[in-house]
Amino acid sequence: MVNKVAIVTGASRGVGRATATRLARAGICVFLAARNVDDLNQVATEINSDNGNALAIPTDVTQAQSVQDLVDQVVKETGQIDLLVNNAGVGIFESVVDSNPDNWQSVIQSNLTSIYLCSKAVLPIMIDQKSGQIINILSVAAQVAFPFASAYCAAKAGALALSNVLREEVRSEGVRVTAVLPGSINSSFWDKMEQHPDLDLMLKPHHLADTILQLAMSPADMTVESVTVTPPLGIL
């Protein structure tokens, strides 16, 4: 049995990649989940070459069977799941009146449904262990209305509500649930946007990775229900 086992979704780049790397350096066995196989394998190779312990498992977190296959493999390999970091998500920005319903569904599925599916899949293991932690990486968009981001704001607000409900359902089982609400992060999230805040003023992925590690290493007899992390100048 290893000391601690974590699943990180959206682990092929950005915050997920930084988080997986940071957790591995702290001695946590990390299972990397994302759809991009090449990028995912590269992250695993980098972690393992740095004396970490990582395994890439290509996963579509919007599909229930793919998520269950991920969890089954982790349990088969280690017999435990101590930490789930729900980080996967996409943003598509358009006005409501001009929006494409397919885009709406894509954003809801990747940012909200994925958290439901992944949490539902790991919870039987965590409840049986009488311990576990779920950290949901959301956004300040869960609480702030941004024009042209209806699907994204709705998904993040829903994910915050889901986090709060889930926490109340499982706290008596020894499972902790934390919602992390970051402001703007310098990542590929902005690549397709013609206008955006100054990237140099944003949070860096390692800021979130460090926050997640602190939460993962916090005493089991306390729960951080939510934490907001912003750049020095605010949300941006």
Specify whether 116 is catalytic.
Answer: no
Catalytic residue among 31, 104, 116, 152: 152
DSSP sequence for 91-145: ---B-TTT--HHHHHHHHIIIIIHHHHHHHHHHHHHHHHT-EEEEEE--GGGTS-
Could you tell me the end-to-end alpha-carbon distance of the chain, in angstroms, rounded to an integer? Answer: 44
Q: How many CB atoms lie within 10 A of CB 38?
A: 9
Q: How many CB atoms lie within 10 A of CB 76?
A: 8
**Element at 6 (helix H, strand E):** strand 5-9
Q: How many CB atoms lie within 10 A of CB 95?
A: 10
Rounded to whole angstroms, how far apart are CA atoms 89 and 106?
A: 9
* Enzyme catalytic residues: 152
